[in-house]
Amino acid sequence: MSKLIDTQLVLLSAAAQREDRMVVPPGNLNGPAATKILKPLLHNRFVEEVPAKNGYPIYRRDPDDGPIALRVMDKGLSVIGVEPQEPISPETAKEAASKKSPRKPGAQKQKPKARPKSGPAARERGSAAKVGGQGPKSGPPPKKAVAQPGAKQALLIEMLQAKRGANIDAIVKATGWLPHTGRAMISGLRKTGYRIELERAEGKKAAYRIVASPKKTAKARG
C-alpha cells in the first residue's frame, strides 16, 4: 500500500466527521485530477462506491446505475486513526430526531395520581424515605450523547484548544501520526469550520492553536 498524500488524508478526515461518512470530491480539481486522487482510495478499499441518493455528493455518473458517491469504509477510518462507527443516512437522522411515541387511538388519558395526604403518617413515611436514602423516582437518567468517532481526532482538538496550542512534534508524539498526517488532519479541521492559527514565539517551535470553533464561527457570521 502506497503512502497517502495530504489531499487524500484531508478527504478521509472530512468524511469521517460526517454522519453519513460520504467523501466530498475536491472541487478545485477537474475530472482526471480528482480521479487520480480518489482511485487509490478505491483500490485499497479505503472507500466504496454507493448510489448517490439522499443528497450524497456525486463522485461520478454511471450509464446504467446513475449517480455514484463514495463512502469511507472502516479500513479507511483506521488509516487516519478514527474508530469505526456505523454511518447514518440523512433520512435516518431526520427520522430519529422527529420520532415520537404515537398515542394509540381511543386510549384514555391516565388519571393523575392523588397527592398523599398531609399528616403524621405522611410525614413519617417521608422521614423514613430520607433515612433510607431513597427519594421519589424521577424517571430513567438521560441518555449520554454518543461520542463522535475518532479518539485521536478528539485528542488533536483538545491539544489545539490548549492556551498555548501544540506544535507538530507534540502532536506526532501524542497521536503516533507522521508529521504530514498531523498537518493534513489540521487542514481537515479547518475545512470543517475550525479557525486554527499558527503562532510563532521567539525561541520556540511554531504551535497550532484553535481560536474559534465551528459553532462560534457560525454565530459570528450570523
Residues 81 and 154 in one domain: no
For residue 68, being part of any structural domain is answered with yes
Structure confidence at residue 27 (pLDDT): 73
Residues 82 and 162 in one domain: no
For residue 113, being part of any structural domain is answered with no
Among 200, 168, 201, CA closest to 185: 168
Residues 1 and 80 in one domain: yes
Q: Which of 14-42 are b and which e, b meaning 16 or more Cβ less than 10 Å from the residue's Cβ? A: bbbbbebbbbbbbeeeeeeebeebbebbe
Q: Please tell me the total count of domains within the chain.
A: 2
In CATH, what number is assigned to the domain containing residue 16?
A: 1.10.10.10
116 touches 128 (CB < 8 A): no
Give pLDDT tens digits along the chain (222 positions). Answer: 457 888 888 888 888 888 888 898 877 666 778 888 888 899 999 999 999 887 888 888 888 889 998 999 998 888 888 776 655 555 554 554 555 445 545 545 555 555 555 555 555 555 544 444 444 455 555 443 333 446 788 889 989 999 888 998 999 888 888 888 888 888 888 888 889 998 887 778 888 999 998 875 555 555
For residue 142, being part of any structural domain is answered with no
Question: What does pTM read for this prediction?
Answer: 0.47
Structure confidence at residue 109 (pLDDT): 53
Structure confidence at residue 219 (pLDDT): 52
Q: Which of 89, 122, 142 is the last residue of a domain?
A: 89
If 0-12 CB within 10 Å is exposed, 13-18 middle and 19+ buried, where does residue 113 land? exposed
Domain limits for position 217: 150-222
For residue 213, being part of any structural domain is answered with yes
Structure confidence at residue 160 (pLDDT): 93
Structure confidence at residue 115 (pLDDT): 59
